[in-house]
Amino acid sequence: MATITSSDVQRENRIPPRQVLTRKWPVLYHGSVPDYAYFDSLGQTHQDWRAQWTFRIWGLVEAPWQCNYHEFIALPRVEVLADMHCVTRWSKLDNVWEGVSTRTVLSKVKVLPEATYVMVHCEQGYTTNLPLDDFLGEDCLFAWKHSGQPLEPDHGYPVRLVVPGWGPVQDKHNEYVSPFLLR
């Protein structure tokens, strides 16, 4: 398994202005947690969902691709050390994420040249979009573990997208800014 250290943990000032350092991981989940998450967290593994869970890539690609959960976690794994900065003003340092890199996932398709953004679709109809170049950062991954433990239902279980450069980030003048002001 490849290990990657995100450049954000190498900054001199790791906590952006007006952010508060936390040791805990605040729950900011909105909506219901999928039923299968409760079965697994209670040790009552409900195996059926893993074969039915689908990861798909479609859109501006030559041909769509999809896999189930078993196939997804069988892809080559990476481990990423990165800080987490939430727009709700907290920062959690030295997170270790395990999963599959966004580069590996996107290598399953041929992206058309006119594709410049990625739209990520998640549970409960949640979506987010980001520039393709940001999505393909060396330290970006779809994680299923955090600090050696499977993700909890309230923190994105079974898989969450991790893009360390998003959140409050530093510009070239060493000022922290919101990524929404940059995009």
Domain that holds residue 124: 2-11+18-24+34-182
Q: Summarize pLDDT for 149-181 with one digit per residue, the tens.
A: 988 877 877 888 999 876 544 443 333 333 332
Q: Summarize pLDDT for 107-143 with one digit per residue, the tens.
A: 999 999 999 999 998 877 778 899 999 999 999 999 9
For residue 128, tell me if it sits in a domain.
yes
For residue 103, tell me if it sits in a domain.
yes
* CATH number for 40: 3.90.420.10
CA dist 97 and 99 (Å) reads 7
CA dist 127 and 111 (Å) reads 20
CA dist 8 and 84 (Å) reads 9
For residue 29, tell me if it sits in a domain.
no
pTM score, two decimals?
Answer: 0.82
The structural domain count of the chain equals 1
